[in-house]
């Protein structure tokens, strides 16, 4: 992990490793939507999988449901 962190500044200067506790901050919701959208770019080979589009409203509802069930982030 330490080696990875050292190389991070060279390889991914535009990226930041972060951790959220609780709900995603509202100012980060659109960035979270973009992260979910990256799932549609992975190779699926022969699998017949349709793209899934996550919205900010989906994320908010998912968080509401998870936290209501006692889950934590």
> Can you tell me whether residue 43 is helix, strand or coil?
coil
In a domain, 69, yes or no: yes
Judge whether 14 lies within some domain.
no
Q: Decide if pLDDT at 8 tops 80.
A: no
Q: What is the pLDDT of residues 15-67, one digit of tens each?
A: 777 788 999 999 999 999 999 999 888 888 999 988 889 999 999 999 999 99
Res. 11 pLDDT band, cuts 50 70 90: confident
Quote the domain boundaries for residue 53: 19-73
Domain count, the chain: 1
Residue 35 falls inside a structural domain = yes
Q: Dihedral (C-alpha) 15, 73, 1, 33: value to the nearest 10 degrees?
A: -30
Indicate the pTM of the whole model: 0.68
Asked, for residue 61, whether it belongs to a domain, the answer is: yes
| Residue 48 included in any domain | yes
- Within a domain: residue 11? no
The band of 70, judged by pLDDT with boundaries at 50, 70 and 90, is very high
In a domain, 25, yes or no: yes
Q: Which residue has the higher pLDDT, 37 or 14?
A: 37
Angle of helix 29-38 relative to helix 56-68, nearest 10 degrees, comes to: 100
């Amino acid at each position: 992990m330490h080696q990875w962190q050292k190389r991070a500044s060279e390889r991914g200067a535009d990226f930041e490793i972060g951790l959220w506790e609780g709900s995603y901050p509202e100012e980060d919701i659109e960035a979270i939507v973009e992260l979910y959208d990256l799932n549609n770019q992975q190779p699926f080979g022969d699998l017949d999988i349709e793209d899934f589009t996550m919205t900010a409203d989906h994320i908010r509802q998912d968080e509401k449901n998870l936290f209501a069930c006692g889950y934590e982030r």
